[in-house]
Amino acid sequence: MIYFDNASTTKMSEQVMDYMCEFMKKNFANPSSLHSMGFEAEKEITKARKIVASAINADPEEIYFTSGGTEANNTAILGVAEAYRRRGKRVITMNIEHPSVTDSYKELERRGFEVITLAVDEKGYIDIDELENTVNEDTILVSIMYVNNEVGTIQDIEKIYKTIKGKNPNCVFHTDCVQAFCKHPVNCKFADIITLSGHKICSAKGTGAMYVKKGIRVNNLHFGGSQEKGLRPGTENTYGIAALGKAVEISVENMDLNYAKVLEVKNALMKAADKLEDVYVNGDSEKGSPYILNMSFKDVKGEVLLHALENEEIYVATGSACSSRIKEKKKIVDNMTEGRGANAVRFSFSCENTVEEAERVVESLLKNVPLLRRFVPR
């Protein structure tokens, strides 16, 4: 079995799983309880908070745990907009964001905010000059993803942050770092809000986090407790938070090694584009994230190729898992290219993947793509 769908979710590492299971056996108490068992559970949350904060050079007090990246993005966008709506109603994003961002901006539009959506070029980059011209004194929020989840384009977050603050120092900059966290350097110095997820780095599903810079106001979306300073009330997912802390610790320690490893895997798989006719790499083939490779195969539907590969126990995707079951959705690739979205397949990697696996997938593509093209009506 070859699993190349790690941008959707990663396999939980044995080390993280063992750590979480041991914690579940010994520290099952509610971390808000006043007795010693509750205190021990709370200590694990504090430990994980420090680990996550250290990974992005933040203060632990600026880290809030959530159920994942989607909740974190919803809270960041809706919470900031409502907190600052008296200051202005212009909000800005781009057209290749994750559905948890784009749908949040649609909700803001329904609430009467002025939503500006920036287009990207054929490699997935925004025009920073256009961004600068769009930010004005009424702009309260900008959301730009760091590493795109479908094509792997890496935005220049530092330049974007400085551009926004140069036009309007009071504008809040939020960046979805779900696909970047623990894979690429993430520095809280160049963002006001950063959103993260655990199951993209070999941790448990249902865990995520937000970095909120001191002084930035975010209205809470949930009510009923004082956990996470009231921003995210409710009994903490202590087991998941413990797993997240351990996964971050391991990933940060091995980030450079993992980066080099997955780059070799990606480069090996890109040979399919050299050996087959009419194959296009979507995104930036040279400067994009090594963790994601998106290719379109002319005259072959992405979903058809996905199932052909699945028959050989090779697992890939055609786009974001969070929008895969939405009928007639417009694909991210179509926002960057002319009509290549339907033919796109996303291959995404983890540190457990190997060059040998990539070579096997190339062999499968060399066999299946010409075969599937025979059935295209002429």
Convert the pLDDT of each residue in 347-372 to its tens digit.
999 999 999 999 999 999 999 999 99
pLDDT the model gives residue 163: 98
pLDDT the model gives residue 47: 97
pLDDT the model gives residue 327: 47
pLDDT the model gives residue 378: 58
How many angstroms separate the CA atoms of 227 and 149, rounded?
30
The answer on pLDDT for 194 being more than 70 is yes
The answer on pLDDT for 25 being more than 80 is yes
Instruction: Supply the pTM of this predicted model.
Output: 0.94
Is residue 348 within 8 Å of residue 299, measured between CB atoms?
no
How many angstroms separate the CA atoms of 158 and 205, rounded?
29
pLDDT the model gives residue 339: 83
- Domain 2-10+255-373 belongs to what topology? Aspartate Aminotransferase, domain 1 (3.90.1150)
Catalytic one of 171, 182, 202, 322: 322
Dig out the tokens for 81 from the structure.
């907009």
Is the four-CA dihedral 304, 319, 283, 340 of positive or negative sign?
Answer: positive
pLDDT the model gives residue 338: 79
- What proportions of the chain, in percent to the nearest 5, are helix, strand and coil? 45, 15, 40
Mean pLDDT computed over 258-285: 95
pLDDT the model gives residue 273: 86
pLDDT the model gives residue 58: 98
Dig out the tokens for 270 from the structure.
């890109």
CB crowding 324-342: b at 16 or more within 10 Å, else e: eeeeeeebbbbbbbeebbe
Neighbour count for residue 195 (Cβ, 10 Å): 33
How many angstroms separate the CA atoms of 351 and 165, rounded?
36
Residue 139 β-bridge partners: 90
Could you give the percent of the chain with pLDDT greater than 70? Answer: 96
Specify the 3-state DSSP secondary structure of 371. Answer: helix
Catalytic residue check, 177: no
The answer on pLDDT for 97 being more than 80 is yes
The answer on pLDDT for 329 being more than 50 is no
The answer on pLDDT for 376 being more than 90 is no
DSSP one-letter code for 291: T
**CATH number, domain 14-253, options 3.40.640.10, 3.40.605.10, 3.40.309.10, 3.40.50.300:** 3.40.640.10
Domain spans of the chain, in order of start: 2-10+255-373, 14-253
Mean pLDDT, the chain, as a whole number? Answer: 94
Report the range of poorest mean pLDDT among 129-133, 159-163, 225-229, 259-263: 225-229
**What's the distance, Cα to Cα, between the start and end of the chain in Å?**
35
